[in-house]
Structure 1
């Protein structure tokens, strides 16, 4: 009887610990990407700017950006907190790529929450540069100063 009581207690304790661990919010360790359609709707609803990343499977610099820039903790945290991050495979979604005039990869667009175009950048962007650009756009500093002046304030 004593053995059964101890076993039941241990099982209940293990279950409690498992549920407590599962309920603990995990810090995101990657960018929360979404699709174009979902992202556009989310951005308007949440009033967040849009980070729109065009890529393709065969693109060497896209892979480099995905393995370096998009693995950077500062980029992950800032994008997830301040932007709706949308990824578009330009080979699979040619109409969207055409709508944004994508001619080379990777290409990154920055949009207002209402999907109005702010700016685009072709090519690979390293983490330090991208974080500065994300802050420049998110804080709407482009309305008050040049990018060079903004960089000087950091």
Structure 2
């Protein structure tokens, strides 16, 4: 009986880990910054530029807890152009956007102008709120904190 319970628990755990990515068509459609900049010229979408390092524990936490969630994946893929920048490998883009911390999130409006930036680990609910804040252009009218209180 303990073996059966352990097996059922393992199956349930694997489903929890596997389901969000499967539900969102294979994850976020990340581009490198040059490809994202080219895509933004063709599409009228805001851009998220995500500065990370492969060995950054905060970046790994974002990948596991936030970027694996179906709601985040769907919203980013639908409403944003998503650029992922390795701060060690793409020093030119890192310098261009003055990113000195990982993870850093730089949001550009559809015209390519920076409208918001944040850093560190952000929980799923706040990250989804942040995506709404940018995609609805609420940043033109109010602070993120005020937006989140009414959201």
Q: Please state which band the TM-score falls in when normalised by the shorter chain.
A: 0.7 to 0.9
Provide the secondary structure at the position in 1 that maps to 2:67. helix
Q: Which residue of structure 2 lines up, in the alignment, with residue 109 of structure 1?
A: 106
CA distance in 1, matches of 2:24, 2:102: 30
> Do the aligned partners of 1:31 and 1:76 also contact (CA within 8 Å) in 2?
yes
Q: Residue 143 of structure 1: CA displacement?
A: 1.4
Give the TM-score taking structure 2 as reference length.
0.80
CA distance in 1, matches of 2:128, 2:24: 19
Which of these residues, 43, 48, 65, is aligned with residue 46 of structure 1? 43
- 1:107-129 deviations in Å (ceiling 9; x for gaps): 11001122211111111112111
Which of these residues, 125, 131, 142, is aligned with residue 128 of structure 2? 131
Rg larger in structure: 1
Which of these residues, 59, 63, 66, is aligned with residue 63 of structure 2? 66
Q: Which residue of structure 2 lines up, in the alignment, with residue 75 of structure 1?
A: 72
Q: Which residue of structure 1 lines up, in the alignment, with residue 83 of structure 2?
A: 86
Change beyond 3 A, Cα 1:91–1:143: same
Which of these residues, 135, 140, 144, is aligned with residue 141 of structure 2? 144
Give the TM-score taking structure 1 as reference length.
0.79
> Do the aligned partners of 1:29 and 1:73 also contact (CA within 8 Å) in 2?
no
Uncovered stretches (5+) of structure 2, i.e. residues with no partner: 1-22
> Do the aligned partners of 1:90 and 1:97 also contact (CA within 8 Å) in 2?
yes
Range with greater deviation from structure 2 (84-93 or 136-145) = 136-145
Question: Any runs of at least 4 consecutive aligned residues in structure 1 with deviations exceeding 4 A, and if so which?
Answer: none
Question: Is 1:97–2:94 an aligned residue pair?
Answer: yes
CA distance in 2, matches of 1:91, 1:149: 35
Q: Residue 44 of structure 1: CA displacement?
A: 2.1
- 1:49-102 deviations in Å (ceiling 9; x for gaps): 001000111111001111111001110011000000000001000111011111
Change beyond 3 A, Cα 1:114–1:152: same
Uncovered stretches (5+) of structure 1, i.e. residues with no partner: 1-25
